[in-house]
Amino acid sequence: MKKLKLHNEGFRKLVTSFREWLDVLGYAESTVYYLPNHLQEFFYYAEQRGIRHLDGITTRTISEYYETLQRRSNERRSGALSKAYLNKHQQALKKFRDYLRQHGNNRFTIHLKAERNPTEEKTNIPTQAEIKELFMATGYSHDDEHYRLRDKAILTVLYSCGLRRNEAVHLDVSDVLFDRERLYVRKGKNYKERFVPLNGYNLRILEDYIFEGRPEFTDSHMGEALLVSRLGRRLDGTSIALRLKAIVAASENRTIIAKGITPHTLRHSIATHLLQRGVPLESIKTFLGHASLESTQLYTHLLKTLEHENV
C-alpha cells in the first residue's frame, strides 16, 4: 500500500522517532525503512476512527486493525496478503511497543498470534576486537597492494571517522588535512559541514593510501576524489559497500560475517564504542554530525541492549 499521509503531528513525530531508534539500534536498512511505514499505516487507520492520541489506542483497536489487514486483498497479486507481510505488520507494532517501553510508556499492549515464527533481527554491532580483526583482514583482502591500502582507507573513514556512506563517497584528497589532523566533511547530511579528528594511526593509513596506493589506480591523477575506482573515477556507494563485504569475508570469522556489517553499521559501531569509553554525548554528537542531541542519545539504548545481550 502506498504511503498514507498522517494529519496528527504527534503520530508523525512518533514515526520519525521510531525510525531513528531502529536505525541507531543497528537494524537492517530494509527494517528501518519498512517497519516505520507499517506503523504509519496503523496510525492512519487509527486517525480514520477518530483516534488522535496513543491513550486512545486499545487492544481492541489493534485486533480490529489486524483483522482488516487479514481481509485486505493483495495489490500486487491475487488473493490475500501473505503471512510474511502480516507478520511484518505485527513486528512493527511489537517493536514500537519496545520503543515505547524504553521511553517509559508501558501501556501499549499487543495480543496477536503470529502467522508463523518470524526471524527477529538482532543488533549487529561488531565489538572493538572484531573491528581490529577487520583492519587486520585488509592485509589480505585483495591480491593487489593498492586495493588493500584502499580497503584500509575505506575502513578508516567509515569506522574511525564515523562517516556516512555518501560522505565517504564525496571526500576529496584535499579534505585530508594532515597539518591540522582533521578530516573535512563537506557533503554531510543536509549539506552540513564538519571536521573530524584524525589520530596518528589513521593519518598514516590515509597517507599510505594517498601516496602509495591511490596513484596505482588508472588515471587517478585526473580527479580529486579520495576513494577511486579501478579506472580512477570516484568510487560510488555501492562499490564501497561491496569492498566492505570483501573485507568482512576476508576475516573468515563466522561471527563477524553473520552480523551482515554495512557502512552504516560501522558508523553505529564507533558511536557505541566511544560511549563505552566514556566520551560525552555532546562530543559524539559533534563527531557524527547529528543535528540534535536527541538522535545521539539513542545510542545509550543501544549500549544497554548490547550489555544485556552479553550478560
Relative to beta strand 194-197, strand 182-185 is antiparallel
| Structural domain range at position 33 | 9-102
Task: Specify the pLDDT at position 75.
Answer: 62
User: Do 184 and 305 belong together in one domain?
Assistant: yes
Lowest mean pLDDT across 60-69, 199-208, 249-258: 60-69
Tally the domains of the chain: 2
189 is catalytic: yes
* Residue at 120 is within a domain: no
264 is catalytic: yes
* Residue at 138 is within a domain: yes
Relative to beta strand 182-185, strand 176-177 is antiparallel
How distant is the alpha carbon of residue 138 from its chain centre? 22
117 band by pLDDT with thresholds 50, 70 and 90? very low
C-alpha cell at 100: 515505547
User: Do 139 and 230 belong together in one domain?
Assistant: yes
User: Do 259 and 134 belong together in one domain?
Assistant: yes
- Rounded CA-CA distance 164/223 in Å is 22
Point out the catalytic residue in the list 146, 187, 264, 301: 264
* Residue at 37 is within a domain: yes
The phi, psi pair for 166, rounded to 5°, reads: -65, -30
Judge if pTM exceeds 0.95. Answer: no
User: Do 81 and 143 belong together in one domain?
Assistant: no
13 is catalytic: no
53 is catalytic: no
Angle at 12 between CA 10 and CA 14, to 5 degrees: 70
- Rounded CA-CA distance 130/72 in Å is 45
Point out the catalytic residue in the list 189, 192, 204, 230: 189
Task: Specify the pLDDT at position 139.
Answer: 96
* CB-based contacts of 100, cutoff 8 Å, min separation 6: 54, 106, 107, 108
User: H helices within 138-188, ranges in order?
Assistant: 145-155, 165-169
Considering just the CA atoms, what is the radius of gyration of the chain in Å?
Answer: 22
Point out the catalytic residue in the list 94, 164, 243, 268: 164
Q: How far is CA 140 from CA 31, 144, 207, in A?
A: 32, 9, 19
299 is catalytic: yes
Name the average pLDDT for the chain. Answer: 86
23 band by pLDDT with thresholds 50, 70 and 90? confident
235 band by pLDDT with thresholds 50, 70 and 90? very high
User: Do 255 and 161 belong together in one domain?
Assistant: yes
List pLDDT tens digits, range 85-96: 888 888 899 889
Q: Is the pLDDT of residue 2 over 80?
A: no
Contact 178, 203 (CB under 8 A): yes
277 is catalytic: no
Task: Specify the pLDDT at position 142.
Answer: 97
